[in-house]
Structure formats: C-alpha cells, structure tokens
Chains A and B, each alone.
Chain A
Amino acid sequence: MYLLPLLTINSSGLERAKSILQASNQQIAPVSVNIVSPMVFPTLYQTAATKEGAFCSANGKKNKRNAKRSLCPKMRGYPAEFEISGNPKTYVSIQLDADEYKQGLKFSIDSKTTKLEQRVRIKKDGFGTFFAGGVITLQDTQATSSGEYAFSLYVTALYQ
C-alpha cells in the first residue's frame, strides 16, 4: 500500500523512485536472529512438600533455597542469549513471547529480569545481543509427572 503514491507521478519520476527504492532496500541488511546459547533450566524437583506457585527461574541467578517455594532450590539456570544482525548503528525492536501450560507446569518470560519488548542496538560490526530469562511455575501439584517438558519461546524482531 505504500507503493500506491508512485502511480500518480510521471514515468521519469517513477524510474527515479524505483531506483531509490532499490538502493534503500539494499542498504537495509535483513534482520536475522540467531541463538547463541539456549535457555537452560536446572533439573526441577517436586516433592510432597512443594507448594503450588513454587517456581524455578533461568536468569543467571541462584534460585531461592526454600524447598516449598522453589522447584530448584539453590540451583542456577541461565537465560537464552541471542545474536541479532542488521544494519550497523540502528535499533531493532524485539518482542518475546512465552506463556504455555503443560501438565501442571507453566512456562513464561521471567519478568524480573527480562522485558517483553526490548530495543536492541546493532553495533558497528552489525551485531547486537539480547537475553531472554524464563521461569517455570508449578500450577497444579497433582497434574505433574516426572519427565521432560518442552516449551516454546517466540522471538520477533522488527526494525524501528
């Protein structure tokens, strides 16, 4: 729809406009997001003493030691690290999204350390980095079972 105004100008103007479009298109390197290190959670433990609402954060900090309120007392998880490439010295807007419930556990973005929307600066070398911390919360003590859970983290990058 942004191209519509081009139709109203004369042909020579159209050619020039096209060439500008192409030039500007080439200047903008496509945004590409790569994961450098995945989000890592320590092994979670639910015992008979673990209360609903207990959680485990993967944000680089040690988790609380209280076994009733933590799914991974005193253990440390790590946030996902992403590398984003784009036009040097620009900003890229990043949106993170995770809100998933499976068999008693909920996965969400760790709001204490991670903003759902971030502005990431692309440095001179054409790369920028950002992190995404996560948290697993026990929502139903009876619905869980031992084993591996897989959750999804959505990342959307957008030039500003």
Chain B
Amino acid sequence: MLKKLSALAIIGFTAFSANSATYQVNVVLNVERSPLQITQSQSMVFNELLVNEASRNGYVCNATDSEPANSLSKNLCSGAWSGKSARFTVSGTPRAAISYTFTGEDQIKDGLRFFVPGSGTTRTVALDTNGEVTVSSSGAIELVDKDIAINAPGTKTFSYDFVAAYQ
C-alpha cells in the first residue's frame, strides 16, 4: 500500500516540476527598396534613307551597330554606315535578375513603317556585381508606299518603349 502511495507522490511532484522562460531574439533588418534605374546610353540611329525611282516597296534599313552584310537588310540605307542600335543601362540591386521588353509596334509615317524586331518579347538578364547591365535593341524602317515617301523628304520621328522590372 505504501509503495504505491510513494510512487503516486513522486509522479505528483515531478509533474509540477516544470520551468518555463521567455528569451528575446533580436534581429536587425535593412530594407532597400531601390527601384531600377534606366538610362539610355545610346540612341537608336538610322543611316540616311534614300528613296528614288529605283526603290521598291519592301526595301528596309536597319539600325544596327555594324553594317549588315546582306544587302536586303540595308537596301533603303544610303551613304557610309552610321546606324546604331539603341542601348540602355539598367542599374539596381547587384546580381538581381530583371526582365526587359522593347516594344515598337508598327508605325507608318509618309510611306515608311517603323518597327522593332522582336517587339514585345520579354527577355531576362541578371545585373552584374556592380548592379548594372546594358541591353540593346535594333530597329527597322521599311518602305511601304514608295509614291508617298518619294514626295516627303525630311526627318521622321518614331517612338518605341523600353520597360525593365525585377523578376
């Protein structure tokens, strides 16, 4: 009888032998919500375009850094090569991945159509260890209406969009 009692008593005491404590954990957080910054380091440049009686609709001139070897890619261009693709420098958090998109939908002015090859395609690139990356895009002008274009010399202005965002 007593042995049983003592066993009970020990259980009773041990069950109450609890100890609880709270410890504080400190954490320091640095928040940098630095947005991406975009600067245009080079404008898109086209060679001078030449339209004459020999020109045909469908002739194109591309804005690229180097002169295309294929004459079909430059038969609307004239003179020594001066074309340049557009360049943008994107800066932000080092090593972060970004997506970017060049958008230039068909714009027709005075018989000339401007478009960005691969317009609207979203591409992915990572910023380097300094938090920078440079991306580029070419552009293209196509002769769509020779009769209008031949009578409308002068400077034409077209526009395109560049968008970059963190992934």
Residues of A within 8 A of B (CB): 1-3, 5-6, 9, 13, 16-17, 20-21, 24-25, 28, 30-33, 35, 38-39, 41, 43-49, 67-68, 71, 80, 98, 105, 107, 134, 136, 144-160
Residue B33 is within 8 A (CB to CB) of chain A in the complex: yes
Residue B21 is within 8 A (CB to CB) of chain A in the complex: yes
Q: State the Cβ distance, A15 to closest chain B Cβ, in Å.
A: 11
CB-defined contacts of B26 to chain A, threshold 8 Å: 41, 148-151
- In Å, the complex CA distance between A35 and B5 comes to 37
CB-defined contacts of A80 to chain B, threshold 8 Å: 23, 25
Are A44 and B29 neighbours in the complex by a CB distance under 8 Å? yes
- In Å, the complex CA distance between A91 and B30 comes to 42
Are A150 and B25 neighbours in the complex by a CB distance under 8 Å? yes
Closest 5 CB pairs of A and B: A2-B12, A49-B96, A156-B20, A47-B93, A159-B14
- In Å, the complex CA distance between A35 and B19 comes to 13
Subset of 28 A-B contacts with CB under 8 Å: A1-B12, A2-B11, A2-B12, A21-B9, A21-B13, A24-B10, A30-B19, A31-B17, A31-B18, A43-B28, A43-B30, A44-B29, A45-B30, A45-B32, A49-B93, A49-B95, A80-B23, A134-B25, A145-B29, A147-B28, A148-B26, A151-B24, A151-B26, A152-B25, A155-B21, A157-B18, A157-B19, A158-B17
